[in-house]
Structure 1
Amino acid sequence: MNSTIEKVIENVKSAINESIKKCIAEGEFTLESIPTIIIEVPREESYGDFSTNIAMQITKQARKSPKLIGEAIMNNINTEEGYIQSVELAGPGFINFRLKKSWIYEVLEEIYDKRDHYGNSDIGKGKKVNVEYISANPTGPMHMGNARGGSIGDAIAAVLHRAGYEVSKEFYINDAGNQIEKFGQSLEARYLQIIGEDVGFPEDGYQGNDIIEHMKNFVDIHGDKYKKVDSEERKKALVDYALKLNIQKIKDDLAEYGVKYDTWFYESTLHEANSVGNIIKELQDKGHAYKKDGAIWFKTSNFGCEKDDVLVRNNGIPTYFAADIAYHANKLRTREFDWSINVWGADHHGHIARLKAGIEALGINPDRLTVVIMQLVRLTRKGEIERMSKRKGTAISLSDLIEEVGRDAARFFFNLRSPDSHLDFDLDLAVEESNDNPVFYVQYAYARICSILRQLDIEASFSQVSLALLKEKEEITLIRKLADLPQEIIKAGEKLDPSKITKYVLDLSSDFHSFYNACRVKVEDEELMKARIILIQCTRQVIKNCLDILGVNAPEKM
């Protein structure tokens, strides 16, 4: 599934490789081995289409200056065949390449042929990947961190799918353990207070209004039926009622956000199947766990961590850490995913090393687990930090954000920066209909192309169009940018950074607007007009492919 740009890069690498072999054969210099040839796009357009620093890489081996090596390689490059037009030496030994224009027209043909699949590759070779993200505690509404995690996780999954991986998207529901116990205590206190009992509220309980609303509704249905029952029975009834509603609310909000999962995995199923207990026993049997002070400890310190961690408390209840090891063993061993990717908030950074230690102790390669750390989001309005919903007067939740700025702006803005960068989300800019608003800028480029094509209403058959008529600087720049998408998807997949796609589609939209301002599509020369129609059709397709990755709509009218 090699793209045009990949074929061009391979052709340039091959030409360099053959030239080096020729230099060695003719005694220009000697080498024990030819290193991996790195091809890059020069920062300055005047330096050509591609560049390599191979002359500097082999200086020590060849025992010559980079300049002399570069001259030898340059003089022995075959420009008769393939895509290379000319070769130049620059600086201390960079070799710059200018390509024949014919290759860029092949890019348009590829886009026209592949359409929705343009940009896809097979570098993943069908490896099974589990991408787990958000996994918010189902004890209350989702917040800004969850909102950013949804955009990032969804886009990572989309990028990897396009890069040839078999991707499964997963939400891990923490419906067991300490947080659910605290949830039950909070619900119980509010329930008893509402039915007139004089009880205090747990010091570390959940204070949200949603807890009160749940219990008011529960009382409307059941009255004081659970007043005199055993506390454990009462808490179970309250948790069963409220947890179901909270999980449904999470699913509804995420559906509104455009996030759809392949699997909703319940932590409780690990306990019900005794998977957690079995993992703890396995760690003990392998000598990686021990008993102390009535608890069971994991020898985390044997795997490079500072201290050991508790697997089972002295009250016999397994920790969240133990369940997390069991969960990842389920993903990597039971369900046989080749690669597990978790998107976590920065506050979980310290958990990475010990979790990797846990799966390594089970004999699972810890490199099969990658954690993408996501930094905090600050919402701003008129330059000031915004923490409260204007309508509700409470902390801004995911549903509040979607209501205020819309799904498209939220998903686009959250991927404007790499996951490990802090993000200031400008609420005013997100709803502004101007070129300063990045999502508006990109969507407007798409809508403008749709408008041009509607107005022209001309069929431009690819086989009948002379693409060589596209030779203006702005046309060439635009096509060159279209060619970059396959490589951008590969890089975004390698770095697990969807912001590379966001930046790319912003640059592409800028190149389109420059083309639009410099080159009229509707011209008297019908052949040129048809060639430009093909160009903007391809541009429209590539913008849509990028927006699809980001989970953002491509509107035909604005």
Structure 2
Amino acid sequence: MTVRNEIHRLVEAAFGRAQSAGELPALELPEFAVERPARPEHGDFAVSLALRLARAARMPPLQIAQAIARHLDRPEFLDRVEVAPPGFINFFLNDRWVCRQVEAILAAGPEYGRVSPGPGLNIQVEFVSANPVGPLHVGNGRGAVLGSTLANILGLAGHRVTREYYINDAGSQMDAFYRSLWARYLQALGHEAEFPPDGYPGQYLVEIAREIVAEHGDRFARMPEAEGRLALGKLGVEKVLGLIRRDLADLRVEFDVWYSEQSLYDSGLFQKVLNLLRERGFVEEREGALWFVSTALGEDKDNVLIRSNGLPTYFASDIAYHYDKFAIRKFDRVIDIWGADHQGHVPRMKAAVQALGFDPDRLIILLTQMVTLRRGAEVVRLSKRTGEIITLREVIDEVGADACRYFFL
């Protein structure tokens, strides 16, 4: 049992004894929380139950708090209990007891914190899920550490946890990546090749192209261009994923499943889900595009599923992906960890889950805030080595995995 839960139990028992002693009227105990005070002089934990009881008890909250405090047991972990105006009960932990917990934690080893809540839930935690078009940047690190830590805690709490990385290997960004790598590959072979204006200009792509030339020579250049570009692009994605896997492993972030977005289309699942939404009346065709009628579920606007050019939106494939999570793999809870720039997508994703026939409360979306790097007092925005965005690899190499995990949390 945690200290917080034990204090909750102590207060419940003291409330009952105060009633039995006639110091408090016969009232039903309302729900209350054991909180951490903002200021240390107010204790390690505090309860404001008396403030909630004052109206019903027709007593000053300070008097109620004093009555409860008089009947509190004093277990070993408590140093003292203080009542403070207007009706707080503040709990101070015993310093010697706190110090002894270090020995208990070390003795328990990896088992420390494990609880047995009964039959656990089947929970998926999907996090990072960066496009495989380049190395992870420092901002990806926060979501990686948060997801990894949350999954570890859920596992210790007795739940069955699946850690999943959703590989966004379909759509327009992949086409831009393929064309970018094709240009760098031809340049590495000594050919003239124009770099696409919407391409990925990072130095990492030049290095990947040189590596492929060293391994395969002009093999892809000898193919018909469309065929060669596709084969080269797929190889490039594998190499980028290799970099991503390496960086995450060095950060001690592990995944059980690497799920390909493209597989949604290859398996026919995307079309199946689109047909399901159409049958349920949540798909309309207008302006040459297919729309998800999210306004029917309380949203302020509808959202495009298939653009007028015939290409699916990222949102459309995400709906099919979440159908797979709930309908096929039958997770009890799904936790998505997204960057703060995706905040506006949360309501429509919840609406889509509801349209598929599932309780939207089973989907929990956590948003991570942006990362600011400082070296001393200076805010660091660009890599010294490349003059480009700072990669997660550079931060791991400079400060180590432990410091990364600590500060990202």
TM-score by length of 2: 0.86
Match of 1:61 among 45, 56, 60: 56
Cα distance in 1 for partners of 2:184, 2:9 equals 70
Match of 1:406, as an amino acid? G
Any gaps of 5 or more consecutive residues in structure 1? 416-558
Structure 1 pair 52–413 and aligned structure 2 pair: CA distance change class (3 A) = closer
Structure 2 residue matching 1:29: 3-state secondary structure: coil
Structure 1 pair 266–48 and aligned structure 2 pair: CA distance change class (3 A) = closer
The structure richer in helix per residue is: 1
Cα distance in 1 for partners of 2:58, 2:374 equals 58
Match of 1:247 among 238, 241, 245: 241
The Cα shift of 1:144 comes to 0.7
Cα distance in 2 for partners of 1:49, 1:204 equals 54
Structure 1 pair 234–19 and aligned structure 2 pair: CA distance change class (3 A) = same
Residue of structure 1 equivalent to 2:17: 19
The Cα shift of 1:69 comes to 3.4
Residue of structure 1 equivalent to 2:264: 270
Determine if the alignment matches structure 1 residue 208 to structure 2 residue 202: yes
Residue of structure 1 equivalent to 2:229: 235
The Cα shift of 1:105 comes to 10
Larger radius of gyration between Structure 1 and Structure 2: 1
Residue of structure 2 equivalent to 1:379: 373
Match of 1:285 among 279, 283, 297: 279
Cα distance in 1 for partners of 2:167, 2:215 equals 26
Residue of structure 2 equivalent to 1:555: none
Q: Kindly report which structure 2 residues correspond to 1:132-147, keeping only aligned pairs within 5 A, or say none.
A: 132-147=126-141
Q: Kindly report which structure 2 residues correspond to 1:515-526, keeping only aligned pairs within 5 A, or say none.
A: none
CA contact 2:180–2:195 (8 Å) conserved in 1: yes
Superposed CA offset, 1:205-254 (max 9, x none): 11122223333343445554544644321221111221111111211222
Provide the aligned length of Structure 1 versus Structure 2: 409
CA contact 1:122–1:165 (8 Å) conserved in 2: no
Structure 1 pair 243–16 and aligned structure 2 pair: CA distance change class (3 A) = same
Cα distance in 2 for partners of 1:382, 1:100 equals 37
The Cα shift of 1:285 comes to 0.5
Determine if the alignment matches structure 1 residue 362 to structure 2 residue 360: no
TM-score by length of 1: 0.65
CA contact 1:124–1:165 (8 Å) conserved in 2: no
- Which stretch has the larger CA shift, 203-212 or 190-199? 190-199
CA contact 2:15–2:68 (8 Å) conserved in 1: no
CA contact 1:129–1:168 (8 Å) conserved in 2: yes
RMSD: 3.3
Identity, % of aligned positions: 39
Cα distance in 1 for partners of 2:121, 2:98 equals 32
Structure 2 residue matching 1:168: 3-state secondary structure: strand
Cα distance in 1 for partners of 2:391, 2:92 equals 52
Superposed CA offset, 1:428-456 (max 9, x none): xxxxxxxxxxxxxxxxxxxxxxxxxxxxx
Structure 1 residue matching 2:390: 3-state secondary structure: coil
Cα distance in 2 for partners of 1:129, 1:256 equals 25
Structure 1 pair 90–331 and aligned structure 2 pair: CA distance change class (3 A) = same
Any gaps of 5 or more consecutive residues in structure 2? none
Structure 1 residue matching 2:384: 3-state secondary structure: coil
Residue of structure 2 equivalent to 1:318: 312
Residue of structure 2 equivalent to 1:308: 302
Match of 1:241, as an amino acid? L
Cα distance in 2 for partners of 1:216, 1:11 equals 65
The Cα shift of 1:35 comes to 0.6
Cα distance in 2 for partners of 1:211, 1:99 equals 56
Match of 1:29 among 19, 22, 25: 25
- Which stretch has the larger CA shift, 180-189 or 277-286? 180-189
Structure 1 residue matching 2:372: 3-state secondary structure: strand
CA contact 1:344–1:373 (8 Å) conserved in 2: yes
Q: Kindly report which structure 2 residues correspond to 1:290-301, keeping only aligned pairs within 5 A, or say none.
A: 290-301=284-295
CA contact 1:30–1:61 (8 Å) conserved in 2: no
Structure 2 residue matching 1:213: 3-state secondary structure: helix
The Cα shift of 1:196 comes to 5.6
Match of 1:9, as an amino acid? I
